[in-house]
């Protein structure tokens, strides 16, 4: 699976691209207007755009550094690539870009956008507000420049820039973005929500979300007519978010604060049909491995809270079963079906009434 985004993100959802494309194919959704309220690295959005599943992508991020980076990619592609090529990746430069980031509320967008990219590629796990790879003394196994491959970064940014006319960029609160943008995408719309983790989210993202904020968002998302998918760390289930929605529990490894496998959950809107193999009470493959020999790249999921009887499953599958059953009934000849209310014919003579 190709890398399209120049940014690194902890718990990045790139490996869920096959899952999203399968949902689109299952529901015959083509040339969608795809929206991500928490774009971050926009890995799924870019994959859908560059592989022609989406005609337009709407990427939103309230974080000013992240917004500044995408603004530079779309509006100053050549200057950004030139800057990447000329800048030396050293600790002195890291300190300089860190200072720009510290003044993120007032820094020029182009400067802040480059600082966001530089820190994302030189910090551990891609956390912009995190520590530098190798430590400030550069005594670690890897140096500050370990993840800063200039030719590859420039190639990705130039490719995205060529698709700029089909990318819409926003810097809005996710709730406002849901109400004003996603709610008005129409029949071709599709939304993918990847809110900050509920547990440890403050350490991974530039946000100050509370559980009340997550609940408020879930109420608004549930009202949408546009098909949507929401992913969370599994604590969303314990907090009772999206209680009436179908959900898939899956494993996705991420590398923040140490590498480990995190159990996560995907909630799916009611107006999306699910692949048949998802409906079995057993694990199913959600994405193919990046490298055949890499087991870490494989994501398996399993439906939770599924009804035990297939005939009770809601959606298009239920309609198909009903039509099949109706056709079977209509093939039965009338003569083979007893009439329940027909009076039985009495054999012999009817007894006469006695007189007297």
pLDDT tens per residue, range 19-65: 999 999 999 999 999 999 999 999 999 999 999 999 999 999 999 99
* Statement: residue 6 has pLDDT above 70: yes
| Per-domain residue ranges of the chain | 8-62+172-342, 63-163
* Statement: residue 208 has pLDDT above 70: no
Q: What is the predicted pLDDT for the residue at 221?
A: 97
Mean pLDDT over 309-333 rounds to 63
Instruction: Say how many residues make up the chain.
Output: 356
Mean pLDDT over 179-186 rounds to 97
Fold for the domain defined by 8-62+172-342: Rossmann fold (3.40.50)
Beta strands per DSSP E along the chain: 32-36, 54-60, 167-170, 189-193, 228-233, 246-254, 260-268, 284-287, 299-304
Mean pLDDT over all residues of the chain? 86
Alpha carbon distance 232, 230 (integer Å): 7
Q: What is the predicted pLDDT for the residue at 337?
A: 65
At 248 the three-state DSSP class reads strand
Mean pLDDT over 321-338 rounds to 73
pTM score over 0.85? no
Which has the higher per-residue pLDDT, 284 or 346?
A: 284
Report residue 184 as tokens. 């008005």
* Statement: residue 149 has pLDDT above 50: yes
């Amino acid at each position: 699976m190709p890398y399209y985004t120049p940014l690194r993100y902890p718990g990045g959802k790139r490996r869920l691209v096959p899952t999203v494309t399968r949902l689109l194919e299952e529901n015959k959704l083509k040339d969608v207007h795809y929206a991500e309220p928490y774009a971050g690295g926009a890995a799924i959005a870019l994959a859908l755009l560059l592989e022609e599943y989406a005609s337009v992508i709407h990427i939103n991020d309230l974080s000013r550094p992240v917004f500044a980076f995408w603004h530079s990619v779309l509006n100053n592609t050549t200057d950004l690539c030139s800057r990447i090529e000329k800048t030396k990746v050293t600790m002195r430069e890291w300190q300089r870009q860190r200072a720009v980031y510290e003044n993120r509320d007032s820094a020029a967008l182009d400067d802040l956008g480059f600082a966001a990219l530089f820190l994302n590629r030189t910090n551990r796990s891609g956390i912009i507000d995190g520590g530098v790879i190798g430590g400030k003394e550069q005594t670690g196994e890897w140096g500050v420049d370990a993840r800063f491959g200039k030719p590859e970064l420039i190639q990705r940014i130039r490719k995205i820039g060529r698709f700029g006319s089909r990318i819409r960029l926003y810097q809005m609160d996710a709730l406002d973005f849901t109400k004003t943008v996603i709610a008005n995408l129409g029949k071709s719309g599709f939304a993918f929500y990847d809110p900050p983790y509920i547990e440890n989210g403050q350490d991974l993202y530039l946000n100050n979300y509370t559980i009340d904020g997550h609940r408020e968002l879930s109420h608004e998302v549930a009202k949408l007519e546009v098909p949507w998918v929401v992913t969370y760390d599994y604590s969303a289930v314990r907090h009772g978010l999206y209680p009436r929605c179908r959900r898939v529990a899956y494993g996705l490894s991420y590398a923040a604060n140490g590498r480990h496998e995190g159990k996560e959950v995907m909630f799916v809107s009611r107006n999306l049909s699910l692949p048949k193999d998802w409906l079995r009470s057993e694990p199913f493959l959600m994405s193919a491995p990046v490298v055949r020999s890499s087991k870490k790249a494989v994501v398996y999921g399993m439906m939770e809270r599924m009804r035990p009887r297939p005939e009770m499953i809601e959606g298009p599958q239920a309609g198909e079963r009903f039509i099949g059953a109706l056709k079977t009934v209509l093939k039965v000849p009338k003569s083979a079906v007893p009439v329940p209310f027909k009076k039985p014919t009495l054999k012999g003579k009817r007894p006469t009434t006695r007189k007297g």
